[in-house]
A = this chain, B = another copy of it.
Amino acid sequence: MRDTSRARMLSPDRLFGQVAHKLAVSIISGASRTGELLPNEDDIRSEISVSRTAYREAVKFLTGKGLVEARPKSGTRVAPRDSWNLLDPDVLAWHFEADPNEKFIRDLFELRLFVEPSAARLAAQRRSEEDLAKIAAAYRGMTVNPPYAEPTVQADLAFHESIFEATRNPPLQCLAPAVCATIQWSLFLKAPDDRFFFTASLVDHERVLDAISQRDGDLAAARMSGLVIDSLNSTLRLLAGRASENASSARD
């Protein structure tokens, strides 16, 4: 799993970025428990042979996202989970790289269910012609490419992102990465040959597009709600399948 968020994430080519990534995955995956993280700066330095500068910049980067707390003398610790910025695009990406946690996916879907219908309503009310064109283009991108192919996924994400853009509400738009991450994760789970769900999903999307095109806010909200619920159900089914698979393979 990679490149979960479409937003430009931290540059992987910078050294501090690599260090931050490594630390973040270790933290989020639970390999580093809430408590002492880095035995001390020097140990890390030697372990991954990186200068103190780069290491410290990585720590500052993670501090900004609430993942770690560095206090003099006591050490740099993994922050308690409830101070993490779970909606930060990077943190989301790291989550999906480190921790395919079902509860987390459920929670994100719940959030989607609260937010996306409202976003669709606003989009229907406020969209410009350019907004609509963008959404329509994204929908078209979903139809002309093969199911579950990369361009299709990108088009799907663009569809939802464009709707957030059309709300003209910047704080609300900040939730788009979370929605996109959820979608990408659920698409990643799906069997690539699950054409039934795909066509159903396509219809859902078309109906939303149609409502937004008509500037019918309530309709857009209702249809978006249906879309999310369908996606949730389908994803839960897949998760259940996975769980039973794991159970049976564990039983062997």
Q: Could you tell me which A residues sit within 8 Å of B by CB distance?
A: 7-8, 10, 16, 53, 56-58, 60-65, 81-90, 104, 107-108, 110-111, 113-115, 118-119, 122, 169-175, 178
Residue in contact with A171 in the complex, picked from B58, B64, B111, CB distance below 8 Å = B111
Residue in contact with A170 in the complex, picked from B86, B114, B173, B175, CB distance below 8 Å = B86
Q: Which residues of B contact A114 (CB under 8 A)?
A: 114-115, 118-119, 172
Q: Which residues of B contact A104 (CB under 8 A)?
A: 170-171
Query: In the complex the two chains form, what is the Cα distance from A175 to B118 in whole Å?
Result: 16
Instruction: Find the B residue at minimum CB distance from A57.
Output: B60
Q: Which residues of B contact A170 (CB under 8 A)?
A: 81-82, 84, 86, 104, 107
Majority-rule SS of A interface residues: helix
A55 to chain B, nearest CB (A): 11
Q: Which residues of B contact A60 (CB under 8 A)?
A: 16, 57-58, 60-61, 64
> Can you list 28 residue pairs at the A/B interface with Cβ under 8 Å?
A8-B83, A16-B60, A53-B53, A53-B56, A57-B57, A57-B60, A61-B61, A62-B64, A64-B65, A64-B90, A84-B170, A84-B174, A85-B87, A85-B88, A85-B174, A86-B171, A87-B171, A87-B174, A104-B170, A104-B171, A107-B169, A108-B171, A111-B169, A114-B114, A114-B115, A114-B119, A115-B115, A171-B178
